[in-house]
A and B are shown apart, each in its own frame.
Chain A
Amino acid sequence: MPASRSESVSYSNANASQAILRTVDLGVSFGGHQAVNAVSTSFHGGALTAIVGPNGAGKTTYFNLISGQIAASQGEVWLSSENVTALSVSQRARKGLGRAFQLTNLFPRLSVLENIRLVAQSMQSGRHHHGFDFWRIWSDAADLIEHATDILRSVSMAAQLGDPVATLSHGDQRKLEVAMLIAMNPTVYMFDEPTAGMSADEVPVVLDLIRDLKTHSHKTILLVEHKMDVVRDLADRIVVLHNGQLVADGEPAEVINSDIVQEAYLGTRGGARRGLM
């Protein structure tokens, strides 16, 4: 394990100066349990990094530490050249850390359009004042409505823009979750199991959206995913967490075949490699 760890650190630090997102000794403990333990790595533009690991490895907690939902007990989070560790969730979001959630997390009583528009509005200063506008009528902002409609069109949801979110199918809600992240237009996209709970025919739709994002933008994309076929298909790089520690980091083929991942993921060394692939 130590060999692998040092290998991962050298990978991360090689291009640290150009990194869009960096975590330095980032960690948190709950009581005596160290959920994330001094994770240092960096993420670059134009690459999709999959963060994998068995249940309880600390993947979502690591995401929460980056986006600010959980305060770190140690370490730092850097976005480009700015230390954002002390910033709140909303401040980090406005700086460019966009997060989609493992469990669908929308505004159920508002319409599909309103959900997207709220995100677009939040990101815009100028005359939209990040939503601090008490007097203009909501439906007067034609530019925001048009922008939100365009985003919904790009995810094939334009026909549902007036529907309350609570009435959408689970698959459409997951699609909307991705659309909200697109509406944020963040520097870093963070997807936490975007295909969780979706039926087999709905999964490709969401994966295509992420693939499009990867192909057509030069953004940093982080993806927590359990399904290894999805990871193999999309990832340019894999980071493996185990018991809160970063245990492997590198090219997908190399990481998936490494003994440390076989042991961490399947509890076996070498023999079960086929199962993982």
Chain B
Amino acid sequence: MTTLDWARLISKDRPGSRVLAILLIAIVAGLLFAPFALTGAKAISICVKIMIFAVLAASFDLLLGYTGIVSFAHTVFFGIGAYGVGIALTRLGASWTSLAAGILTAILLSILLALVIGLFSLRVRAIFFSMITLALSAAAQTLATQLSGLTGGEDGLVFRLPPGLMPNARLLDSKLLGLTIDGKVLCYYLILAMSVTFVLAMLRIVNSPFGRVLLAIRDNEFRAEAIGYPVFVFRTLSNVAAAVFACTSGVMLSLWLRYAGPDASLSFEIMLDILMIVIIGGVGTIYGSVVGATAFLIAQGYLQDLLKASSAASHILPGIDQVLSPDRWMLWLGLLFILAVYYFPAGLVGVLRRPAGKLNAKGGRPAKDRFIMIYRWMGRAR
């Protein structure tokens, strides 16, 4: 593939920084070779979560970063994708036809629901839209637990995948580079292919004429309308596109877990995770969702292990081992999040893309300068 083709593949949206380009290549390469390089189930599971949440967070960023609307109903579409696959495979049997039917039904239902939400609530002010979506999210969670005949209630649905995707399916007789190629590996690469395709598709959408109109609406909806763009229609379409991609990430989750349940796909914790990923990565950058998902999920997955080691090493210092106790990992994750928001308000991608020494979009100083200022202030205080 020529250089030009690569540029078109990423919709001519170059990372804009060598560090970011290397980071993105490293993430993709890491995910590509993870099944060969990593042995533990936990590590592979984190890799899959990175792929799923990169798509989910990028789809949320279509709304937050590119259209300027905050929706709390994003997990509803994530849940529809997960339950769509789950219900189809449970009811119709573990076949490829059932899987296709489940995915198609889930996507159609997501489009319909996003249209209804958009038509009824995107005309109102942003805060009311957020409140309506919050109510919808709570309603979806309640429905999923109450309609136990269909959804399995609080226990959710455990189901079998089509034969080729089950872990016990041997796809190659011999090992490849020491790895047994089974249904689980196929499922992993299917999810990787899907997530790369969806991220590139979203990158194309935000770099299309439609995407620029979304940015214009985010900046100044009043003027966007005055120059001839029907803001309400564009917002509704953006909501539908975000819903479809959220639904497909739910499908990926279901394929990997072979399970669909309220806590795994509809909980408010997932909504918070999406928000944190988008903010850490950088609002309004599709690349930010990829970087943010990687940073957040690795921190979430390994902070406990890191604290365990630190706590053991510091047991001779009274009190410190308590602060570094693995049980307090959420506290440290929260602290890291606060620091990230404070020092990198434009997110990791925003920092990496910003030219050195220039003021940021809000006229603030770069994080490096803030450190220098704090250092000097501490010097004066002494």
- A131 pairs with B231, CB closer than 8 A: no
Across-interface contacts of A93 in B (CB, < 8 A): 225-228
A-B contact count (CB 8 A): 106
Across-interface contacts of A101 in B (CB, < 8 A): 223, 226
- B219 pairs with A90, CB closer than 8 A: no
- B226 pairs with A89, CB closer than 8 A: yes
For residue A95, which residue of chain B has the nearest CB?
A: B228
Answer yes or no: B215 CB below 8 A from chain A CBs. Answer: yes
- B220 pairs with A106, CB closer than 8 A: yes
- B220 pairs with A138, CB closer than 8 A: no
Q: Give chain B nearest CB distance to A108 CB in angstroms.
A: 6
Q: Give chain B nearest CB distance to A97 CB in angstroms.
A: 9
Answer yes or no: B45 CB below 8 A from chain A CBs. Answer: no
Across-interface contacts of B229 in A (CB, < 8 A): 90, 118, 122, 130-131
Q: Indicate whether A137 sits within 8 Å of B220 (C-beta atoms), given known contacts A90-B228, A114-B212, A119-B227.
A: no
Across-interface contacts of A147 in B (CB, < 8 A): none
Across-interface contacts of B12 in A (CB, < 8 A): 137, 139
Answer yes or no: B222 CB below 8 A from chain A CBs. Answer: yes
From the candidates B8, B220, B228, B241, name the one contacting A105 in the complex (CB within 8 A): B220
- B212 pairs with A106, CB closer than 8 A: no
For residue B211, which residue of chain A has the nearest CB?
A: A138
What is the predominant secondary structure among interface residues of chain A facing chain B? Answer: helix
Answer yes or no: B356 CB below 8 A from chain A CBs. Answer: no
Q: CA A89 – CA B225 in complex, angstroms?
A: 6
Answer yes or no: B213 CB below 8 A from chain A CBs. Answer: yes
How many residues of A are counted as interface, with CB atoms below 8 angstroms from the partner's CB atoms?
Answer: 39
Answer yes or no: B381 CB below 8 A from chain A CBs. Answer: no
Answer yes or no: B216 CB below 8 A from chain A CBs. Answer: yes
Q: Give chain B nearest CB distance to A261 CB in angstroms.
A: 31
For residue A141, which residue of chain B has the nearest CB?
A: B209
- B11 pairs with A90, CB closer than 8 A: no
- A110 pairs with B225, CB closer than 8 A: no
- B210 pairs with A131, CB closer than 8 A: yes
Q: Give chain A nearest CB distance to B298 CB in angstroms.
A: 31
Question: Contact string, A135-179, partner B, CB cutoff 8 A, digits 1/0?
Answer: 111110100000000000000000000000010000000000000
- B223 pairs with A107, CB closer than 8 A: yes
Across-interface contacts of A119 in B (CB, < 8 A): 227-228
Answer yes or no: B167 CB below 8 A from chain A CBs. Answer: no
Point out which of B11, B208, B237 has the most chain A C-beta atoms below 10 A from its C-beta.
B208
- A137 pairs with B361, CB closer than 8 A: no
Across-interface contacts of B212 in A (CB, < 8 A): 110, 114, 117-118, 121, 131, 138
Q: CA A184 – CA B27 in complex, angstroms?
A: 44
Answer yes or no: B207 CB below 8 A from chain A CBs. Answer: yes
